[in-house]
């Protein structure tokens, strides 16, 4: 794995909320730490209410991780554009995050350990 990226199980239970609704909860999340950035919690796809997510046209590329697809979160009152991402086929160095989704923490999206 790249020396500046570390992936490990995220201790405890993690929850992601958007617009007041719980979008996901997991005891099997992963914590990705990358030098120079805040850590990111990746939730297993099966622990996310995927009916709240719509894939968008946005695709980004990370030199180490690969291509990321982005998702908007659709709540009753709003659409939070490109609020989540997933490396559908990550590079070998970070293959553990395949099948996981991460979320941008904002005023309307909270990622919390409970």
- What percent of the chain lies above the pLDDT cut of 90? 89
pTM for this entry:
0.94
- Work out the number of other CB atoms within 10 angstroms of the CB of residue 24: 25
Q: Kindly state the tokens that stand for 20.
A: 């007041």
Q: Kindly state the tokens that stand for 36.
A: 């120079």
- Is the CATH number of domain 5-113 3.40.50.1360? no
Checking if the pLDDT of 70 tops 70, the result is yes
Residues with Cβ < 8 Å from 1, sequence gap 6 or more? Answer: 7, 93, 94
């Amino acid at each position: 794995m790249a020396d500046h990226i570390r992936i490990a199980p995220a201790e405890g239970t993690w929850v992601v909320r958007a617009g007041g609704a719980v979008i996901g909860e997991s005891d099997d999340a992963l914590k990705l730490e990358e030098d120079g950035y805040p850590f990111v919690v990746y939730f297993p796809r099966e622990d996310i209410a995927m009916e709240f997510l719509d894939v968008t046209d946005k695709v980004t590329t990370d030199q180490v991780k690969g291509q990321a697809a982005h998702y908007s979160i659709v709540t009753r009152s709003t659409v939070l554009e490109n609020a989540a991402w997933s490396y559908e086929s990550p590079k070998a160095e970070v293959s553990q995050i395949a099948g996981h989704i991460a979320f941008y923490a904002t005023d309307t999206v909270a990622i919390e350990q409970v």
